[in-house]
Amino acid sequence: MKRISHGTYTMIAGVIYLALITNVLLVVSCLPLVILLITTDPALSWPMLAAAAPLCAPGLTAAFATFRAFGRGGVTPARTFLAAWRTTWRHSLVVGAAVTGIVVIFLADIRFFSDSPLAIAVVPALGVLTALVAATGLLSLVAIADEPRARLRDVVKASIYLGVRNWHLTIVSLAVLATQIVLFTSLPAVALGLTAAPALYLAWANSRYSLLPVLEVEEAPAV
């Protein structure tokens, strides 16, 4: 039986450390939203949840920047996360606020039209638009993590176009994130402590692959 090399052990330890540190820092950066989700009924507290949700965007961008640095040989995920948060929080917060606001409006419209004769046509269209907005937000945060000095308008335009162009990767990313949300509702400790980083890594890898035409990076396969 072939022995596992020291380099392999080091790589595995690095991946585990990356996941644990990223999970911890994500929880800290999203603490207001996490506390509200755990201690309140979302059906009643949704206005507060909508207000707290954009605060998670800088943490997500920082996590994506940490994944990028690790792929390039970085070994200080905590330092990378904090540095990326400080560098990108403004643009990330704008994206988070815009996405949250638009999604809330679309969901309210879906609720309004659900009992209407127009539901068969309007509700699916609003559902697709909601998914498109969520995908645009995801790709925008990934792009900001890679190119923090890029103009926000250019980032959003590229994210919309490339998210639709690579729709199959976008659907996979959204499905993974939706699964993570469902897991949080039943097993929050597992979702926050174990699966958050792997789910976000897959979404980041797919989104970054979609963004390759506008990023000056070496090509890497999608997950």
pLDDT at 158 over 60: yes
- Sequence ranges of the domains in the chain: 6-214
Instruction: Please give the pLDDT value at position 218.
Output: 46
Give 179's pLDDT tier (boundaries 50, 70, 90).
very high
State residue 153's pLDDT score: 96
Query: Which tens digits make up the pLDDT trace of 22-44?
Result: 999 999 999 999 999 999 998 89
Neighbours of 165 (CB within 10 A): 12
The pLDDT score that the predictor gives to residue 71 is 87
| 47 CB-contact burial (10 Å; exposed 0-12 / middle 13-18 / buried 19+) | exposed
DSSP, collapsed to helix, strand or coil, labels residue 218 as: coil
Contact 126, 109 (CB under 8 A): yes
